[in-house]
Amino acid sequence: MNNRCQTYIQVDLTCVSIGYARSLSQMTHHQNNYRFVINWLLVGCLATFSFGSYGLFSKLSTFQNPILSNLIIYGTAASCGIILVGVTKSGAAFCKESFLSGIASNIGALIMLYLLVSNQVLVVFSFVSSASVVFFLIVLGLEKPELSRRQKSFASAGILISVLGLFIASTSTVGGIEFVLKNLAFNPYFFAIASLMPLGFGFWSYFSFVAIKKKCTKVLTAFFNYSCASLLVAVTSYLFFARSFSLPMFFETRDIFPIIAGLFVAVGVILSLQSFKMTSGKSRIEETVVAILANAEIIPLIFLSYFILGEFTTEGFLGAFTVFVGLSILNSARAN
């Protein structure tokens, strides 16, 4: 009798131990998943801040010619790529997708700098913000992600609301929505050129995603290829269109701005690539969030202007809040 009771007690204790172990394993799994989500979101947000700083210094760096500024910016980024690959011994293997991402990105950057010099700030940020739409459409067409009808609805709504928020935020740079409605004159020339920007930045996001997630390229190797391709486009553009402009002697403070912009480009691209690497799942929702964050540099610009310069605009913070709502809806598509 006693032996039978001891057997029952041992069995019960074994069941309890197994149940506790399973519960602990599930808790650890959920904690790891939560930590994983926080990581890729945090890295993506840091990339947004870096690109916002790049946007600030690239605007200040267009001192003579946007093509010349672009050459210095991406010359700095390429130098960072060479140094990082050499120091970390990551390898300088050629990656077609990363190389194409650099070409696409630099074409978009050249157009952006030209429009900034032409005082088309609203056009710049409005069209850049729609690069995430291009990325999502490319992914839908080529990658065939596993999305239910409900997920597609949530994802589409989240992307459109985020783009709307970025547009509202961009109006803060030119006097607000009311000023835009009263004074905006449609210029087909600038709009036709600006329409190429979301294609450039959208394909940059897509080729970066393919290089990291499908080709399993190392982050620094991908950045090295990206920076070399960007420099190739920058040098070619300079030789064909801006050879009459000599390189600055770097005697004045503003001559340093394109170098600072290039450093922020390097940091932003590396963080975006790392964020792509941290994403998971087959819905590609997380990758779309990363693409939006990589093209949302207007948001950190608004906060930098507020905290450093004391400039407050209703449209800026309303746009930032709208972007947050859109990203929340987009992120919720993962759970649907």
What residue segments make up the domains of the chain, in order of their start?
A: 36-335
Copy the structure tokens of residue 7: 């057997």
Count Cβ atoms below 10 Å from residue 246 Cβ, excluding itself: 9
pLDDT band at 6 (very low <50, low <70, confident <90, very high): very low
Which residues touch 120 (CB under 8 Å, ≥6 apart)? 190, 194
Alpha helix locations (H) across 89-173? 96-117, 121-129, 131-142, 149-171
Copy the structure tokens of residue 68: 């010349």
Determine contact, residues 117/59, Cβ cutoff 8 Å.
no
Which range of 39-48, 106-115, 176-185 scores highest in mean pLDDT? It is 39-48
Alpha carbon distance 91, 93 (integer Å): 6
Angle at which helix 149-171 crosses helix 298-309, to 10 degrees, equals 40
Q: Is the pTM of the predicted complex or chain greater than 0.85?
A: no
First to last CA, the chain: 54
Count of residues for the chain? 336
Q: Output the pLDDT for position 330.
A: 86
Instruction: Indicate if the pLDDT at residue 304 is higher than 90.
Output: no
pLDDT band at 34 (very low <50, low <70, confident <90, very high): very low
Instruction: Indicate if the pLDDT at residue 134 is higher than 70.
Output: yes
Copy the structure tokens of residue 307: 């905290």
Nearest alpha-carbon partner for 113 in 77, 74, 70, 73:
70
Q: What is the mean pLDDT of residues 72-96?
A: 89
Q: What is the mean pLDDT of residues 191-219?
A: 90
